[in-house]
Amino acid sequence: MPITEPPSGPTDEPGQVIPRHVAIIMDGNNRWARRRGLPGVAGHRAGVEAVRGVLRACRKQGVEVLTLFAFSSENWGRPQPEVRALLALLSRYLRNEVRELHKDGIRLRFIGERKRFSERLRRLMQQSEQVTAANTAATMVIAVDYGGQWDIAQAAQKLAQRVQEGSLQPGDITPELIDRNISISDLPRPDLCIRTGGDARVSNFMLWHFAYSELYFTNILWPDFDEAEFAGALADYSRRERRFGLRETPGLVTGGSAHA
């Protein structure tokens, strides 16, 4: 799929269709830092600022769910100083930002494995979810130690356990049943996946969830992905036709979310 760049000029188009759920692969922090002669952690710090900007943009535009790929299961293979810096940034973000998120009515959730994190970080994650659990203005999902293949496997394990217990027959396992056991099954599926940094792939992120998501790739590095860039991605999404495998019916509006 070609790299998509935001259109020039105003992006507040009449009748623009806003996705309910946007997922973002935040790529390019290290390259952003290297181009400025800075250590990699400086790029990750700048990336946190980009998160704040995009979250503001989601609230302004009416996006209900924002999912961020913060730390993949493959990221454990990075140099240990970088891994420690990433996890320290996540801890600092939770300590500093959860109060503000709560005040703004934003619910915070995490998807992915947690057992490899420190007890302190796991406790911070749990407390952040508990404090914001009743909020309804919007939801921010942070994917940490997450992989799409892991997500499908853990859903299969749950169903296999039920088969072993005798409460489920193998023939009863359907895509709909798997869907109900996948992470954040209670939330609308991502309408739009944005990847920054120039690579045109999803890198094992939300593989089940992206079955009919629109994909938007940009060369912009994540720390430079601001509210204007986000508005450009939404404008591009709004112009697309989403038929979900169906044939278009004359006079039927096909753009926008299947969950609307």
List of domains in the chain: 21-147+190-238 (3.40.1180.10)
Task: Note whether 23 and 204 are within 8 A (CB).
Answer: no
pLDDT of 151 over the 50 cut: yes
What is the percentage of the chain residues whose pLDDT exceeds 70? 88
Full-model pTM: 0.87
Residue appearing with tokens 């293979």: 77
Confidence at 241, pLDDT banded by 50, 70, 90: confident
On the 0-12 / 13-18 / 19+ scale of CB atoms within 10 A, 62 is: exposed
| pLDDT value of position 245 | 64
List 27, 145, 151, 236, catalytic entry: 27
- A 10 A CB-CB count for 147 gives 21
Contact 43, 30 (CB under 8 A): yes
pLDDT band at 246 (very low <50, low <70, confident <90, very high): low
The pLDDT tens digits of the residues spanning 15-58 come to: 789 999 999 999 999 999 999 999 999 999 999 999 999 999 99
Catalytic (active site) residue 27? yes
Q: Cα separation of 195 and 27, whole Å?
A: 7
75 is known as an active-site residue: yes
**From 12, 30, 75, 145, active-site residue:** 75
Count of CA atoms in the C-beta half-sphere (13 A) of 30:
6
Which tens digit of pLDDT belongs to each residue from 156-182? 999 999 999 999 999 999 999 999 999
